[in-house]
Structure 1
Amino acid sequence: MLFYVMAILVIVMDQLSKYLIRANIHMNETFTLWGIQLTHIENSGMAGGLFQGYAWLFGVLAVVFVICVLYFRRTGEMKGALIDCSFGFLVGGAIGNGIDRLLFGQVTDFIIRSGGILNLADHAIEIGGLLLIIYVVVRWWKSKH
Structure 2
Amino acid sequence: MKDLTAKQSGLRWLWLALLVFLLDIGTKLLVMNTMGYGWSNRIEILPFFNLLYVHNYGAAFSFLSDAGGWQRWFFAAIALGVSGMLAYWMRCTPSSNKILNIAYALVIGGAIGNLFDRLVHGFVVDFLDFYVGNNHWPAFNLADTAICIGAGLIILDSFLASKKPQAEAK
TM over 0.5: yes
Q: Which runs of 5+ in 2 are unaligned?
A: 1-10, 132-136
**Which of 24, 47, 50 is the aligned partner of 2:60?**
47
Give secondary structure in 2 for the equivalent of 1:41.
strand
Contact 2:12 2:95 in 1 (8 A): no
State the AA in 2 paired with 1:88: A
AA at the equivalent of 1:117: A
What is the CA distance between 1:8 and its match in structure 2? 1.1
* Cα distance per residue 1:85-131 (max 9 Å; x no partner): 11111100001001111121100000002421000000000110111
Aligned to 2:155: 133
Q: Percent identity?
A: 28
Q: 1:1-145 maps to which residues of 2 (within 5 A)? A: 3-28=13-38, 29-33=41-45, 35=46, 36-52=49-65, 53=69, 54-76=71-93, 80-114=97-131, 115-145=137-167
Q: Which amino acid aligns with 2:120?
A: L
- The secondary structure found in structure 2 opposite 1:82 is helix
For normalisation by structure 2, the TM-score amounts to 0.78
| Equivalent residues of 1:97, 1:121 under 8 A apart | yes
The Cα of 1:58 is off from its aligned counterpart by 0.6
For structure 1, the residue ranges without an aligned partner over 5 or more in a row are: none
Q: Could you say which structure has the larger radius of gyration?
A: 2
Q: Which amino acid aligns with 1:128?
A: G
Which amino acid in 1 is paired with 2:112?
I
Report the aligned-residue RMSD: 1.8
